[in-house]
């Protein structure tokens, strides 16, 4: 996929949350629109933090629904982390859907 980072970059990408086998990450100084990187059992997607919509990639229907709702439940934390990531500052963990 055109938006993939080189192998090894994922280790430097902070994990914001994990829930139900879903890993949510955010790159530092990434290009807009504001989004998260989601991995679920080897399937990857870029997801808009505003509405949880898939920008690129694919997720199974259930994982897509969980991520969408998680984004809708945490808009302020996601926006704050996006701003911090643009300034290369530490990002805060966000509770997962199974930890709320």
- Mean pLDDT score, 27-44: 94
pLDDT in tens, 39-66: 999 999 999 999 999 999 999 999 999 9
* pLDDT > 50? residue 1: no
Q: CA-to-CA distance for 24 and 64, rounded, in angstroms?
A: 12
- Give the other-Cβ count within 10 Å of 45's Cβ: 22
Residue 7 binned pLDDT confidence (cut-offs 50, 70, 90): very low
Q: Which residue has the higher pLDDT, 32 or 82?
A: 82
pTM for the full predicted model: 0.86
């Amino acid at each position: 996929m055109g938006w993939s980072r080189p192998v090894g970059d994922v280790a430097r990408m902070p994990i914001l949350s994990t829930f139900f086998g879903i890993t949510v990450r955010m790159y530092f100084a990434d290009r807009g629109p504001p989004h998260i990187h989601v991995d679920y059992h080897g399937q990857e997607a870029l997801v808009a933090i505003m509405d949880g919509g898939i920008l690129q990639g694919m997720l199974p229907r259930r994982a897509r629904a969980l991520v969408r709702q998680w984004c809708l439940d945490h808009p302020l934390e996601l926006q704050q982390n996006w701003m911090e990531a643009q300034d290369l500052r530490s990002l805060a963990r966000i509770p997962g859907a199974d930890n709320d």
